Structure 1
Amino acid sequence: MTIRARVPRIPWKALAVAAVVGLLSALVSPSGAQAAPGESTPVYSYDGAIRESVWVDTRLDGDADGRTDRVAVDIVRPAEPAQQGRKIPVIMDASPYYSCCGRGNESQKKTYDDRGRPVGFPLYYDNYFVPRGYATVLVDLAGTNRSDGCVDVGGRSDIRSAKAVIDWLNGRGRAYDARTAGHPVAADWSNGRTGMIGKSWDATIANGVAATGVKGLKTIVPIAGISSWYDYYFAKGAPLYDSGPDGLADYVDSPEARERCAAVQQRLADGAPRTGDWTGLWTERDYVPDAGKVRASVFLVHGMQDLNVRTRHAGRWWDALARHGVERKIWLSRTGHVDPFDFRRTDWVRTLHQWFDHYLMGYDNGIDRAPMADVERAPDSWTTDARWPAAGTTATTLRPRNGTTPGVGVLGTEPAPHGSTAQFTDDPELSEADWAAHIDESTPAKAGFATGPLRAPLRLSGAGKVTVTATPSTSTAHLSAVLVDVGPDTIRNYAAEGEGITTLGTRTCWGAGTTGDTGCFKDTAADTRKVAHTVFSRGWADLGNHADDHKGRPLTPGKRYTITLDLAASDHIVPAGHRLALIVAGTDAGLIDPPPSRPRLTLDLSRTTAELPLTGGAPAFAKATAGARHPAPEPAPPLRGIAPPRTATPLPSAR
């Protein structure tokens, strides 16, 4: 839907009167910024807010210049609470993007006046929340914009850059009013209660800081965040990008950092070999094992068609948080790498407002008792679940076998006869879109297996896995497994430039504004596309990692190997009349890089299984497939190598 809602401007005189009301309400409420129980309201002046910069000491010397690095922190906060002797909570976004790439759908960057004082703060957090009694704190990660140090792509310097700011906000750290020398600055206006938010790399930092267990961090809102940097670059040894973290660091480094951080860049290159083998660099950048240290609540948001930060990151992090009883909430959209402000704006701002009011202001507004999960079923159509994955979801084993039509297989619960095989040859020019378009044909580059038309809807909620036993013809081989909903649908056009959204020419305003920071943003709408099939979950692996997820080995041609491919988390309903399909193939063009050879692989179907998260389990599958007949193949377009888009440099995104 196109959002036309507008948060009204509030004149200064009205703000002044409302501030008096807010002061009186402070006697009975924890924030002083509310007129109604459980909700902060915009009673403070945005135009008169305090805008300042400080440099926080990280106590690290990442650039080895003999002095500890300071990171730049730009702050905007209402003036009235400090005048009234009250302290306020913080909404914080720590990012490497504030000068190189910008934030949000319009690639906004920080702006400063001629004296270096902050004027323009990207995104809407300051416009919307500062009048409601919050401070907005935007942190330049080490090595970026106005900070010292070096970018280390999710490592110690990245995480300590942001953690040091939370320590300072809680009275445990040191900050100064200048990048070098300067006078000490205390955060005497902060009550220490901090919420971190951000998309992409920013979200990743929120995950990593939460995994330190730092005191004072009360909640994080990671949007399309990484939970393990190895999983960003590799999938069980299969390379997802043709570059490593050193290239990404160079992309966001400030000009001065590029001159002084060559040694750090080299360590990044050395620690991330293109073999896909696990090293200590990846151990340091894997936050999942430390989920038990998380003290903060987590509101996780991810696009289920995000082909940049794949949903494996969301699934692994979510499951780890669940095992440790972390309070959490999740939104799953049908977009790619997109912020919810740009696909569900009104509902998002309202929900985020409630979330921060509860966890940072302390209001009992019911957000913690609301349904745990919001899932987009179709463009702009959402459902909720009390828990996620959905109640009643169990891992259910399905098995591929050959069908009555040569080369067109069947997916069901009946095991394949011993000795049954299927064969394909890796074609690195073809992608999952090509394979899915030819699911009912015998084609040389894939092995496909499908149910008949379903008699009842079938829901898959969570992450699955596919275990493959294959015999390669060469010493190297990559494998892909994808799940497909075969049937006509209208989806978000996630493979287009907007990754599921269209940016419109109109604007709406979300909070107060100034000449230098208007708080007005371009509206968006769903970009949709009619399709005959939808790939909704994916997994990849290098067959050379069959014996060890973390180390590859050369294969012996003609020898049989077994490996499990982890499918990305998703939540998808295959409607009645559609078919569920599993495709196993080699290189998924545009999503993994090919091996040096073009192997032919023979699958042992009797030892190949798909363990899928079916809501209702095996009984639901039996009900949905009872009496289903497999249709005769229909003509499909010729193979043409349709690959999803991917950027030459991963991760940075304007949205």
Structure 2
Amino acid sequence: MMRRTVLAVTLALATLPVGAVTAYALPPKHIQGNQTVPVYDYASAIREVVWVQSSVDSDAEPGPDRIAVDIVRPVDPDNPGLQVPAIVEASPYYTLLGRGNELEKKLYLNPNDPTSPIVKMPLYYDNYFVPRGYAFLGVDLSGSTHSTGCLDVGGKAEVFGAKAVIDWLGGNAVAHNAMGQQVFATWFSGKAGMIGKSWDGAMVTGVAATGVPGLATVVPISAVTSWYDYERLNGAVRSNVNSTVGLHDDYTSRPPASCSATRASLVANNGLDYSPFWADRDYVATTANIKASVFLVHGMNDLNVKSSNFGRLWEQLAAAGVPRKLWLSQEQHVDPFDFRRAVWVDTLHRWFDQWLQGLDTGIMDEPQATVERAADTWVDLPEWPPAGTTSPVYYLRPGNGVTGELSTAGPNGGSMAITDLALSESTATTGPQLAKLGRWVFLTPALPQDLHLAGSATVTVRMQSTLSTATLTARLVDYGNQTRVNWESGQGITTGVVEDCWGDNSAADDGCYKKVTKNVINTGVSVLSRGWLDLAHRGSLSSPTGMPALTWQTVTLRLAATDQVIKAGHQLGLVISSTDSSWTTTSATGSLLTFDLGRCILRLPTAPN
């Protein structure tokens, strides 16, 4: 009877249309229930390098750019045709600066041979995810490491070079191996994800904004979303940052002659005004093209890639209805692996399983946003900004003539004047009850209850200047003693000596990393958000016009997005000053700036408690 049943089933399957039998195929062994599990041996994974042909030719050599891709993917002796999704990180840092908190670099079997297979991939992604049925691709940006082309710092060569890798996975671009033979990603399941921090994160956003097919999800971490916002401050020049020219010079792997034209373009075009050069590097402008889900992570005290970079993107993703998730931390430019390691790896695992393996992990039913309120104190929010968030108006009032008032009761007339002096952030924000040249502080009364800020505040002032140019700086400040993350010390973390391990290992790559702890400080002054504006750019970032001397002008300044809670009993301050010597290289002009306080307001994004 059993033999007859088996024969009948076999004959029935044989009569089905081609492909119909796949409905009876067992799931891959790395899937158990609604998650992937580590079943493939990492040490024996396939390690190979291919060069993908870009659609861009950015160097002085003939032919399109060739993008080097180091691949680590699982092998299943029982299933030679195993197909898996791909996790992709495109970076210029792989062999110069290195990746991650410990600055790991790619290591090759033969370091002097660019065709040699990789033996150590930076970071834990391959150690953790390859045994769970993923491929990991470490992509050298155009002009870096083993790729040809040129680093154009966020431009088309980099973005379309990285995009070509996603195209190749889906069969829409050409790649060759070290012997010049064309190769195909027959092992690819059809879904790719990208992840990366900072410059790498810029590539995540930039490629997603092309709408490339096959890119199912992206994870931008402290990512540049607009290179103008990274290097410029609404017409002011920011300090403490490497320029596009400097980034090219520091991380290019090409001979100078190959990329002299690209470098000359960077020198000539990265001006103060928003131009086609910057528009090419503004991924927020093309957010409507994004088809991938987005898991966005940013530090609210990040003064390398400022939080304005996440705020504008998040607003556009929401408007487009893109599936999305958000983590906001109190650290500066720090990867979540180094400020909330175990929870991050688990969350990222479930996110990739959801979007790349097609498993219902439940992650999209969880709260949309997770925010760090204080060191290692996290809260979940159903959505961000929270439902019911409004923007009440606070009026700037003269107060006692030394310290002004922030009040929702209405305007109270009067005026104030400040001289354009170069003030450090500490000088501008400390001692709010003291008279200081070059700044004015407006304070709320002691708060009767917690005040939750969620979003981007704006400051609108009616002002005039004795000179045609000056800088306007505004800061929201929490005045009140509290233990906070000390983001100014080690960006908020201290690296220890004890390691923990995440994933499998090989002889050259152990997937183990030093544990970190949070740095904290008790302080009575905390800057929550900042904004800067060169007043010649008050009406247009692309077409500046000088301030007519002694002529009243209305100027609006948007501050960086944030999510902070000011505790009951504290005071919220708005600090108005001119040239900021801490975060800009702009020179003070000595201009006298006068403000008509009866027409000056702060719109504060306020969420329900």
Q: TM-score, normalized by length of structure 1?
A: 0.87
Equivalent residue in structure 2 for 1:424, among 418, 421, 433: 418
1:426/1:586 contact within 8 Å kept: yes
5+ residue gaps, structure 1? 1-25, 621-655
> Which residue of 1 is the match for residue 543 of structure 2?
551
> Which residue of 1 is the match for residue 405 of structure 2?
410
Task: Give me the whole-angstrom Cα distance separating, in 2, the residues matched to 1:244 and 1:469.
Answer: 33
> Which residue of 1 is the match for residue 39 of structure 2?
43
Task: Give me the whole-angstrom Cα distance separating, in 1, the residues matched to 2:357 and 2:262.
Answer: 40
1:31/1:88 contact within 8 Å kept: no
Shift of 1:243: 6.1
User: Is 2:593 the counterpart of 1:594?
Assistant: no
1:452/1:579 contact within 8 Å kept: yes
Secondary structure of 1:80's partner?
coil
Shift of 1:63: 0.3
Shift of 1:596: 5.3
CA-to-aligned-CA distance 1:508-544 (integer Å, 9 cap, x gap): 0001111211100010010111111111111110111
> Which residue of 1 is the match for residue 308 of structure 2?
312
Shift in alpha-carbon separation, 1:204–1:243, aligned structure 2, 3 A: closer
Letter of the 1:169 counterpart: L
Equivalent residue in structure 2 for 1:213, among 211, 214, 223: 211
Letter of the 2:392 counterpart: T
> Which residue of 1 is the match for residue 569 of structure 2?
577
Equivalent residue in structure 1 for 2:442, among 449, 452, 455: 449
> Which residue of 1 is the match for residue 248 of structure 2?
249
> Which residue of 2 is the match for residue 519 of structure 1?
511
> Which residue of 1 is the match for residue 486 of structure 2?
493
1:30/1:362 contact within 8 Å kept: no
Task: Give me the whole-angstrom Cα distance separating, in 2, the residues matched to 1:257 and 1:382.
Answer: 48
Shift of 1:427: 2.5
> Which residue of 2 is the match for residue 21 of structure 1?
none
Shift in alpha-carbon separation, 1:257–1:296, aligned structure 2, 3 A: farther
Task: Give me the whole-angstrom Cα distance separating, in 2, the residues matched to 1:357 and 1:231.
Answer: 33
Task: Give me the whole-angstrom Cα distance separating, in 1, the residues matched to 2:311 and 2:205.
Answer: 13
Shift of 1:443: 1.1
Shift of 1:484: 0.7
Shift of 1:210: 0.5
CA-to-aligned-CA distance 1:570-619 (integer Å, 9 cap, x gap): 00111101011111111222212223523221111112111110114xxx
Q: TM-score, normalized by length of structure 2?
A: 0.93
2:425/2:581 contact within 8 Å kept: yes
Equivalent residue in structure 2 for 1:479, among 468, 472, 483: 472
CA-to-aligned-CA distance 1:464-493 (integer Å, 9 cap, x gap): 111122222222201111101110111111
Matches for 1:13-92 after TM superposition, within 5 Å: 31-35=28-32, 37-80=33-76, 83-92=79-88
Letter of the 1:127 counterpart: N
Task: Give me the whole-angstrom Cα distance separating, in 1, the residues matched to 2:185 and 2:133.
Answer: 16
Shift of 1:439: 1.3
Shift of 1:182: 1.0
Equivalences, count: 583
CA-to-aligned-CA distance 1:34-79 (integer Å, 9 cap, x gap): 23x1110101100110111111100321003121110110000111
> Which residue of 1 is the match for residue 367 of structure 2?
371
2:56/2:156 contact within 8 Å kept: no
Letter of the 2:487 counterpart: Y
User: Is 2:558 the counterpart of 1:560?
Assistant: no
Task: Give me the whole-angstrom Cα distance separating, in 1, the residues matched to 2:560 and 2:310.
Answer: 9
1:304/1:332 contact within 8 Å kept: yes
Shift in alpha-carbon separation, 1:443–1:530, aligned structure 2, 3 A: same
Shift of 1:83: 3.8
Shift of 1:295: 0.7
2:420/2:588 contact within 8 Å kept: no
CA-to-aligned-CA distance 1:186-222 (integer Å, 9 cap, x gap): 1111112100001001111010100000000000000
Task: Give me the whole-angstrom Cα distance separating, in 2, the residues matched to 1:603 and 1:595.
Answer: 21
2:55/2:161 contact within 8 Å kept: no
> Which residue of 2 is the match for residue 4 of structure 1?
none
> Which residue of 2 is the match for residue 362 of structure 1?
358
Task: Give me the whole-angstrom Cα distance separating, in 2, the residues matched to 1:262 and 1:101.
Answer: 22
> Which residue of 1 is the match for residue 10 of structure 2?
none
User: Is 2:134 the counterpart of 1:138?
Assistant: no
Task: Give me the whole-angstrom Cα distance separating, in 1, the residues matched to 2:424 and 2:358.
Answer: 49
Secondary structure of 1:499's partner?
helix
Shift of 1:434: 2.1
Task: Give me the whole-angstrom Cα distance separating, in 2, the residues matched to 1:520 and 1:243.
Answer: 30
User: Is 2:388 the counterpart of 1:392?
Assistant: yes
Shift of 1:398: 1.0
CA-to-aligned-CA distance 1:305-348 (integer Å, 9 cap, x gap): 00010000100000001000000000000000000000000000
Q: CA RMSD in A?
A: 1.7
1:409/1:448 contact within 8 Å kept: yes
Secondary structure of 2:344's partner?
helix
Task: Give me the whole-angstrom Cα distance separating, in 1, the residues matched to 2:337 and 2:401.
Answer: 48
Task: Give me the whole-angstrom Cα distance separating, in 1, the residues matched to 2:478 and 2:176.
Answer: 56
Matches for 1:88-487 after TM superposition, within 5 Å: 88-114=84-110, 116-178=116-178, 182-241=180-239, 244-254=243-253, 256-273=254-271, 276-403=272-399, 405-418=400-413, 420-428=414-422, 430-487=423-480
Shift of 1:81: 7.4
Which deviates more, 278-287 or 547-556?
Answer: 547-556
Secondary structure of 1:264's partner?
helix
1:195/1:218 contact within 8 Å kept: yes
Which deviates more, 464-473 or 444-453?
Answer: 464-473
Letter of the 1:422 counterpart: M
1:166/1:216 contact within 8 Å kept: yes
- State the identity as a percent: 44
Shift of 1:236: 1.8
Task: Give me the whole-angstrom Cα distance separating, in 2, the residues matched to 1:605 and 1:259.
Answer: 57
> Which residue of 2 is the match for residue 510 of structure 1?
502
Task: Give me the whole-angstrom Cα distance separating, in 2, the residues matched to 1:28 and 1:187.
Answer: 22
2:236/2:471 contact within 8 Å kept: yes
User: Is 2:557 the counterpart of 1:539?
Assistant: no
Shift in alpha-carbon separation, 1:177–1:473, aligned structure 2, 3 A: same
Task: Give me the whole-angstrom Cα distance separating, in 1, the residues matched to 2:77 and 2:520.
Answer: 46
> Which residue of 2 is the match for residue 628 of structure 1?
none
> Which residue of 2 is the match for residue 528 of structure 1?
520
Letter of the 1:603 counterpart: F
Secondary structure of 1:602's partner?
strand
Task: Give me the whole-angstrom Cα distance separating, in 2, the residues matched to 1:572 and 1:59.
Answer: 44
2:84/2:133 contact within 8 Å kept: yes
Letter of the 1:466 counterpart: V
Secondary structure of 2:508's partner?
coil
Secondary structure of 2:312's partner?
helix
1:543/1:561 contact within 8 Å kept: no
Shift in alpha-carbon separation, 1:28–1:339, aligned structure 2, 3 A: farther
Task: Give me the whole-angstrom Cα distance separating, in 1, the residues matched to 2:260 and 2:247.
Answer: 13
Shift in alpha-carbon separation, 1:81–1:586, aligned structure 2, 3 A: farther
Task: Give me the whole-angstrom Cα distance separating, in 1, the residues matched to 2:477 and 2:83.
Answer: 52
Shift of 1:32: 3.1
